[in-house]
Amino acid sequence: MTITQLKYLLAVAKHLNFTKAAKEVHATQPTLSMQIKNLEQELGVKIFDRNKTPLKITDIGKKIIEQAKKILAENDKIIELVNYEKGYVGGELKLGIIPTVSTTLLPIFLKDFLKKYPEVHPDIKELTTQQIIDGLKEGELDVGIAATPLEEPSIKELVLYNEPFVGFIPEGHRLYGKEKLHDYDLAVDDILLLEEGHCFRDNILNICRSEMNDVQAFSIETGNFDTLIKLSKEGLGMTLLPYLHTLDLCEENKKYLKTFEKPEPAREVSLIYNKNNYKRGMINALYKHIKGIIRGMIAFYDVRIISPLPRRMSDS
């Protein structure tokens, strides 16, 4: 039994298809099939029922696969511990990030991060907060970037920045003439929102204090801020944007932005990972790099707009 065979085993278990599994592990399909067959012969059991389409994992196969996950995790821990002691930062880093952060944060830090750490190979996916939490718990992700706090005992949170909300108020709207917004100005029926599943939607609903019956004569589900902006300019309501998203707006659209009175409603954005994760070298490097980028932005922009939260999380 070899580490390679166990990696092949997990790939097949994931895809239930030898061709797809071979592609994932960068092996030919005949080679992968032979290695799985050799493993089954060595153990004297069938792990996969090849008479089923797609493949079916046998009962004993399920137990073997669970044990294989533990063996590979411990093997990876040894490698990462050695790398950490040597100060080496490299390897695959599976990152999950919520969509309302990815469009603004990734362009800010990713290029420079890869240039600074060329041996790191990120595998980045846009996911909902719950998908990220599940991925971290199951070991399918190494790290995530999401709005916090999450109140998940097994998840560590390293706060990156505090991002205020900014109102986008079109001409003719009841709040257009206001110099500053307040949370009591917001009515849930008067705000164009992202579709359900986006934590930014939940953030907005949590600060709305009132309702205005029959203001909206339609419903919409979108995960795109640009769509909300265009609909708002058509007079279909106001919307709220995360501050970083406003930096890339054209000058025409910036004139519709309204900031809030202090204390400004905001969301906390953090780097999150499972307490048992062993890729601490890469996680720490990513955290420090993003924090450095944010500090640079604070120095360039109004410090009132982007500021770290006072809450601190231990990195232990």
pLDDT in tens, 6-22: 999 999 999 999 999 99
Q: Residue 306 above 70 pLDDT?
A: no
Mean pLDDT of 251-273: 90
Q: Tell me, what's the pLDDT at 71? A: 92
For residue 274 the two structure tokens come to 């499972």
* pLDDT band, residue 310 (cuts 50/70/90): very low
Residue 87 CB contacts under 8 Å (≥ 6 apart), including other chains: 281
Range(s) of the chain covered by CATH 1.10.10.10: 3-84
Q: What is the C-alpha separation between 241 and 274, in angstroms, rounded?
A: 29
Q: Residue 312 above 50 pLDDT?
A: no
CATH class of this structure's domain 89-316: alpha beta
Q: What is the C-alpha separation between 308 and 299, in angstroms, rounded?
A: 13
Mean pLDDT of 257-264: 87
Q: For residue range 120-151, what is the model confidence (pLDDT) as tens digits?
A: 999 999 999 999 999 999 888 999 999 998 98
Q: Are 176 and 293 within 8 A, CB to CB? A: no
Q: Tell me, what's the pLDDT at 62? A: 94
Domain 3-84 CATH (choose: 3.40.190.10, 2.30.140.10, 3.40.50.1100, 1.10.10.10)? 1.10.10.10
Q: Tell me, what's the pLDDT at 214? A: 47
Query: Residue 262, Cα to own-chain centre: how many angstroms?
Result: 29
Q: Tell me, what's the pLDDT at 198? A: 58
Q: Tell me, what's the pLDDT at 315? A: 39
* Count of positions (residues) in the chain: 316
Q: For residue range 203-223, what is the model confidence (pLDDT) as tens digits?
A: 665 665 545 554 454 455 566
Q: For residue range 147-204, what is the model confidence (pLDDT) as tens digits?
A: 998 989 999 999 999 888 898 999 988 888 888 988 788 777 777 776 555 566 666 6
Q: Tell me, what's the pLDDT at 200? A: 61
Q: Are 134 and 186 within 8 A, CB to CB? A: no
More confident residue, 35 or 267: 35
User: Which of 48-57, 91-100, 202-211 is predicted least confidently?
Assistant: 202-211
Range(s) of the chain covered by CATH 3.40.190.290: 89-316
Q: Tell me, what's the pLDDT at 314? A: 38
**Identity of the amino acid at 195:** E
Q: At which residue do the structure tokens 């599943």 appear? A: 197
Partner residues linked to 269 by β-bridges: 147, 161
Coil, helix or strand at residue 66:
helix
Q: What is the C-alpha separation between 117 and 289, in angstroms, rounded?
A: 10
Average pLDDT score, the chain? 84
Q: Tell me, what's the pLDDT at 313? A: 38
Q: Are 199 and 291 within 8 A, CB to CB? A: no
More confident residue, 167 or 308: 167
Q: Tell me, what's the pLDDT at 23? A: 93
Mean pLDDT of 30-35: 95
More confident residue, 313 or 48: 48
